[in-house]
Amino acid sequence: SQQGEEDPQALSIQEGENATMNCSYKTSINNLQWYRQNSGRGLVHLILIRSNEREKHSGRLRVTLDTSKKSSSLLITASRAADTASYFCAFNDMRFGAGTRLTVKP
């Protein structure tokens, strides 16, 4: 089964700053997905990147994938207080990383 690690475990930034979260994995993947979880709620899908893609954008989100390093990063630009949540990466076997808890201070 796939195992992933995310870093940092927690990240605290000011509104307007950019937030970068990283996800590493061990075995080959077909795709990698990022999800967001607001406190106490279910996860919401943010973006999917396939193994033959290097970068993908969606609004203020930018995801990169480096298959040679077996890692992906999620960049949130111009962060807002409403971006405060936990962010998880998931692999094609639908196992999740441990997540990054992002706090955006107004």
3 forms part of the interface with another protein (CB under 8 A):
no
61 forms part of the interface with another protein (CB under 8 A):
no
29 forms part of the interface with another protein (CB under 8 A):
no
Q: From the centroid of its chain, how far is CA 87? A: 5
Residue 38 C-beta: closest distance to another protein, Å: 10
44 forms part of the interface with another protein (CB under 8 A):
yes
Residues 84-103 that bind another protein (CB under 8 A): 88, 90, 92-99, 101
Q: Are 72 and 63 in contact (CB under 8 A)?
A: yes
Residue 45 C-beta: closest distance to another protein, Å: 4
Among 42, 52, 59, 106, binds another protein (CB under 8 A): 42
* Sheet architecture: strand order including 31-37: 10-14, 100-105, 85-91, 31-37, 43-50
Provide the 3-class DSSP secondary structure of residue 89.
Answer: strand
**Residues interacting with another protein, by CB under 8 A?**
1, 30, 33, 35, 40-45, 48, 88, 90, 92-99, 101
